[in-house]
Structure 1
Amino acid sequence: MPNGTAPPGTMTVADQLDIIIDDIDNTISGKYPFTLRDLLENPDDYSDIPEVGKEIDKLKKDIESYFENKKAEAAEQLNKYKEDALKATRLADKLEMVVKEKANSQKKPYVTPLFFVRKEDEDEVLFVDNYDASFDQLIDELAKRSMFVVNASMPIESYKVGRWVFVGENKNRAIYVFFPLNPVGLFDVAKDQITLALDGIKLDLESGAAEEEK
């Protein structure tokens, strides 16, 4: 499923997680009998390391420190994120009024469902980060050609991600407001994913070692 807040080509969370893993490996280089990446991708290669569980616990502490430092360094980026997120929210509020007005003028239903399931890969999506008068005509034309209009906007923290889908008989067309990624939120997601993976690897390796000792 495509990223609903950023245009195609924008670096995904998975891409950024990949970069973070490499950065952690650079930070801990030579400290452990494994790299984080290799441990995550080939854990069975380290089943013979004595007390591998303790090594993983030490690694987790280093990873915790890594993310604490990164979050402290991201203060300026966080301020920029808040500015951009507020700008995106204001744009979403503006577009919501325009889209609703155009849908009403074209006598097309404007709905805000709890969920909206569709094949997003087949939609034609326009990503926007500003508004000018030309959008009035565009939105009016989209509403005119649609059967109904779906407000698929969603909240993120105290902000709003603006998304509207103009549902047609053969093709859906959508307008998405570009919304920035929270740099600190990304660190939290990355830390949780890496820690969870390491906990699972530790459990598997220690269980395997216990079985061999029987």
Structure 2
Amino acid sequence: MAEKWSDFTDGILNDRSDEINKKYGLNLADLLSNPGNYTDNLAAKANFEKIRDDIYGYLDQIETSIKDDREELNKNLKNCNDVTQKVSSFLADLSKKSNLPIISPANMRYNKDAVDIIYINEFNDSISSLLNKLASSSNFVLDSTDKYDDYSIGEWIFFGNHKSYDVNLLLEANTALDLDSSRNEINYLFANAEFVMGIDNQPKQASDANTGGSGSKGTDVNTVSDSHSINNAGTSKNSDKAGSNGPINPS
């Protein structure tokens, strides 16, 4: 069922599917992927909130088992934020000196396949030289910096006449990052199922209480797993399948 959600989320749902089937006589994956089939299923509606609480509780269990990953993610996010600020300041000065427009439009369509991606995780003389070189051959820069909680994850696309380059802050693959992504996916899956099934309960959110305030809110955070870039929904930019590993069983 991983084609409907990320591999990490698939592992979480698989871990709880047998227990939920035993308790409620329901197929968890089918309930979330085909909620329209359960609009007249009284047992599914009556136990929906219990099933959701079961999954959210399991997410919290996993969170308590990955404290080192959470600390590492927060450290990486802080570094990304610091480097983003330095690059942003450098580009702002460069823009004034060279009259190079830096824009942050609400939306923009362009051929992403024609853009070469450069990942960075520090700012030094070599990076500043690179940015100067890219700016000298560019017509404008698209600032596509994203947010992950209170952290900025920088991305700047240099558009030239013949070649364009995307400079990205690199956020390395991490189990805590995968878990945050799964929280978002699972929140959506349950909210969608609740709506389709016509359940009137107020939608609940998977708790971020144990995450140290690092729930994923960005839409395109760049990570690397097996030399591929994956966004924070767990899907690979460079391949058709997710690059994350399965979840850690906290038991």
* Partner residue of 1:75 out of 67, 74, 98: 67
Q: Deviations over 1:116-159 (max 9, x none)?
A: 51325232221222344322332222111111223332333221
TM-score when normalising by structure 1: 0.71
Query: Which of 148-157 and 23-32 deviates more?
Result: 23-32
Q: Which runs of 5+ in 2 are unaligned?
A: 200-251
Partner of 2:12: 20
Instruction: State the shift of 1:162 in Å.
Output: 0.9
Q: Which residue of 2 aligns with 1:169?
A: 161
C-alpha distance 137-27 of structure 1, shift in aligned 2 (>3 A): farther
Indicate how the Cα distance of structure 1 residues 39 and 167 shifts in structure 2: closer, same or farther if over 3 A, else same: same
Higher helix share: 1
Task: Indicate the RMSD between aligned Cα atoms, in angstroms.
Answer: 3.1
Asked whether 1:157 is paired with 2:152, we answer: no
Structure whose alpha-carbon radius of gyration is higher: 1
Once residues 45 and 150 of structure 1 are traced to their aligned partners in structure 2, the CA distance between those partners, rounded to angstroms, is: 44
Pairs aligned (count)? 191
TM-score, normalised with respect to structure 2: 0.62
Same amino acid, percent of matched pairs = 18
Please tell me whether the aligned partners of residues 108 and 147 of structure 1 are also in contact (alpha carbons under 8 angstroms): no
Partner of 1:199: 194
Asked if the contact 2:146/2:153 (under 8 Å) is kept, the reply is yes
Once the two structures are TM-superposed, the CA of residue 198 in structure 1 deviates from its matched residue by 3.2
Structure 1 unaligned runs (5+)? 1-12, 205-214
- Residue 183 of structure 2 corresponds to residue 188 of structure 1: yes
1:133 aligns with 2:125: yes
SS, match of residue 173 in structure 1 = strand
What is aligned with 2:212? none
Contact 2:76 2:171 in 1 (8 A): yes
Q: Give the SS at the match of 1:155.
A: strand
- With over 3 angstroms needed to count, the CA separation of the structure-2 counterparts of 1:197 and 1:88, relative to structure 1, is same
Please tell me whether residue 37 in structure 1 is matched to residue 32 in structure 2. Answer: no
CA distance in 2, matches of 1:202, 1:115: 34
CA distance in 2, matches of 1:145, 1:119: 18
Closer, same or farther: CA 37–117 of 1 in aligned 2, 3 Å: same
Q: Match of 1:71, SS?
A: helix
Q: Which has the higher contact order (CA 8 A, sep 6+)?
A: 1
Give the direction of change, closer, same or farther, for the CA distance of 1:33–1:142 in structure 2 (3 Å limit): same
